[in-house]
């Protein structure tokens, strides 16, 4: 997204009310801030707290939110149709300091564990 300069935005369009124009400017500022933040993650300046990757098996971008405690399997997955949506959600979750959970075992790993243990 190409950022508009203040001179580009200094004249309110005739079809907009002052209130609508002010809201549009605030919205544009927020979009530009999100764009700058995402650029920090994509450049490696910041890192996502959750793994973001393209899952070839399902053909979608994913964020892993939970891992199996026994085998490290992906248990909680958020699916996205495109990379941008996945990275924006990962950025939001990272800003909230959300990390993957690892509090339980998946069923196949638990079954294998029980079979081997007894």
User: Quick one: how many helices (H) and strands (E) in the chain?
Assistant: 3, 4
- 22-45 tens-digit pLDDT: 899 999 998 898 899 889 988 989
User: pTM of the predicted model, to two decimals?
Assistant: 0.70
Length of the chain: 118
- 41-77 tens-digit pLDDT: 889 899 999 999 999 999 999 999 999 999 999 999 9
For residues 36 and 56, give the distance between their C-alpha atoms in angstroms, rounded to a whole number: 29
Is residue 65 a contact partner of residue 92, using CB atoms and an 8 Å limit? no
Please report, for residues 17, 27, 55, the alpha-carbon distance to residue 91 in angstroms, rounded to integers and kept in the order given.
Answer: 33, 18, 19
């Amino acid at each position: 997204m190409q950022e508009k300069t203040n001179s580009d935005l200094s004249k309110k369009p005739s079809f907009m009310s002052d209130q609508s124009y002010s809201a549009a400017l605030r919205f544009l500022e927020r979009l530009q801030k999100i764009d700058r933040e995402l650029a920090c993650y994509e450049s490696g300046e910041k890192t996502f707290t959750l793994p973001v990757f393209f899952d070839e098996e399902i053909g979608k971008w994913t964020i892993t939110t939970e891992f199996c405690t026994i085998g490290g399997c992906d248990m909680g997955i958020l699916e996205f149709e495109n990379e941008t949506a996945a990275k924006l959600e990962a950025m939001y979750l990272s800003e909230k300091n959300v990390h993957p959970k690892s509090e339980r075992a998946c069923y196949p790993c638990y079954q294998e564990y029980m079979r081997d243990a007894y």
